[in-house]
Amino acid sequence: MKTVLITGASGYLGSNLVEYFSSRYDLIKVARKKNEKGILAVDLANEASVADLSRQHNPDFILHAAGIKAQACEKNPELARVNVSASELLTMHFPSTKIYFFSTDFIFDGKRGDYTEIDPSNPLTIYGRSKLAAESFYDLERHCIIRTAGLFNLNQPGFLNYVFSQLSQEKPIEAFTDVYSTPTYLPYLCKTLDDMIELGVAGLFHIAGSERVSRFEFAKLVAREFSYDENLIHGIEAPESFLNPRDSSLDSSKIKDLLNLKWKSISSALEEMHNKKSSL
Ligand SMILES: NC(=O)c1ccc[n+]([C@@H]2O[C@H](COP(=O)([O-])OP(=O)(O)OC[C@H]3O[C@@H](n4cnc5c(N)ncnc54)[C@H](OP(=O)(O)O)[C@@H]3O)[C@@H](O)[C@H]2O)c1
């Protein structure tokens, strides 16, 4: 069985990768803090720790899903350096190991949307700039950069969780009508990644949902699937001070054409998620 090192294994993306790939590969799971689920504590911003990790393990490939998220980077810009140094140190200390690095739609300014891999980047935020800087360490002949967006599945800690917790208690929510993205159902991302690994592809790829929706529209779709009262969702415009790109939707046709994939709609993904929830 091949061995795969997953960074960020305790995080939202990383724990979904662990769940999906644990039956196919021997996993080395890494996070900043050790935990009871067999996770090794390695500070990826610390050179001695990464060098140590590479002396002790020789994985067939790395899924690099560790990172500091948008809000935390804006609040504490020093933290954003982790996003850059982790990529620098992993590529340096695992020179012959293929890395699949997870980047973001926030490397675009969101003025246009529907971005392909050849569109110019222009990040607006500290987070976006740190992820773009991290991308520069990857030799695209060998590694894979995967730009994804708005990941969702059960137990999502962000917007979806807010929608669930408010609407299930019949409390109103406000959602932006003018902030668009391509929400990505995590099991579809994992399956696509699985096919990419199988095929051995390298390069830069967008992997995101096939529909561009505003947060308001997304909340409505959730309400419809889970039979919550849609009237509780109030559409508002994002304030001037809102830093994130307004339309960071990604065009993922490069990978979908290559693998001949047809991703289902957001409604179908939510229905699948709902069925999974009901069977838990
Ligand atoms: N969530 C999304 O919708 C989304 C969309 C696009 C791209 N991404 C990218 O995916 C990555 C993961 O996102 P996420 O939502 O899974 O974030 P998350 O839930 O906050 O998880 C972050 C993970 O990174 C680890 N980590 C943080 N600092 C570290 C350090 N210095 N050394 C080692 N590990 C460290 C954390 O470990 P501890 O828990 O031990 O601190 C945790 O396992 C990010 O880089 C983000 O850019 C996410």
Residue 151 tokens read as 């990941």
pLDDT band at residue 276 using 50, 70 and 90 as cut-offs: confident
Q: Is the pLDDT of residue 278 over 80?
A: no
Q: Which sequence spans correspond to the domains of the chain?
A: 3-278
Mean pLDDT for 244-273 is 95
For ligand 1, mutation pick of 68, 79, 131, 190 (most atoms within 8 Å of CB): 68
142 Cβ contact partners less than 8 Å away, ≥ 6 residues apart: 98, 202
Q: Which residues, judged by CB distance below 6 Å to any ligand atom, belong to the binding site of ligand 1? A: 7-14, 31-33, 42-45, 65-69, 82, 102, 104, 131, 148-151
- Which pLDDT does position 279 carry in this prediction? 55
pTM recorded for the entire structure: 0.96
To test the pocket of ligand 1, the residue of 13, 43, 130, 252 to mutate (highest count of ligand atoms within 8 Å of its CB) is 13
Nearest-angstrom CA–CA distance, 72 and 83:
12
> For residue 72, what are the CA distances in angstroms to 76, 78, 125, 182, 200?
6, 10, 11, 22, 34
Q: Are 243 and 71 in contact (CB under 8 A)?
A: no
Report the nearest-CA residue for atom 15 of ligand 1.
Answer: 12
Helices (DSSP H) in 176-265: which residue ranges?
A: 186-199, 215-225, 253-259
Q: Is the pLDDT of residue 235 over 80?
A: yes
SS3 134: helix
- For the chain, the first-to-last Cα distance in angstroms comes to 29
pLDDT-above-70 percentage for the chain: 99
Question: Closest ligand 1 atom, CA of 33?
Answer: 40
> If you average pLDDT over residues 64-76, what whole number do you get?
96
Higher pLDDT, 196 or 276: 196
pLDDT at residue 277 greater than cutoff 80: no
The tokens describing 275, both together, are 């069925």
* CA–CA distance, 89 with 97 (Å, rounded to integer): 13
Q: What is the pLDDT of residues 13-47, one digit of tens each?
A: 999 999 999 999 999 999 998 777 799 999 999 99
Ligand 1 atom at minimum distance from 82 CA: 31
Res. 188: pLDDT tops 80: yes
Average pLDDT score over residue span 84-99: 98
| pLDDT of 280 strictly over 50 | no
Would you give the DSSP letter of residue 82? H
Mean pLDDT within 251-263: 94
CA of 200 to the centre of ligand 1 (A): 25
Q: Averaged over 95-118, what is the pLDDT?
A: 98
| pLDDT score of 8 more than 90 | yes
Note the pLDDT of residue 67.
Answer: 98
Q: Which atom of ligand 1 is nearest to the CA of 14?
A: 16
Give the pLDDT band of residue 156 (cuts 50, 70, 90): confident
**Would you state the pLDDT for residue 117?**
98
- Ligand 1 midpoint to CA 12 (Å): 7
Indicate the Cα dihedral angle 236, 239, 243, 245, nearest 10°: 50
Please determine, looking at this structure, whether the domain spanning 3-278 carries the CATH number 3.40.50.720: yes
Q: What angle do CA 208, 194, 138 make, to 5 degrees?
A: 70
Q: How many CA atoms lie within 13 A of 261 on its CB side?
A: 23
- Phi/psi of residue 251, nearest 5 degrees: -95, 115
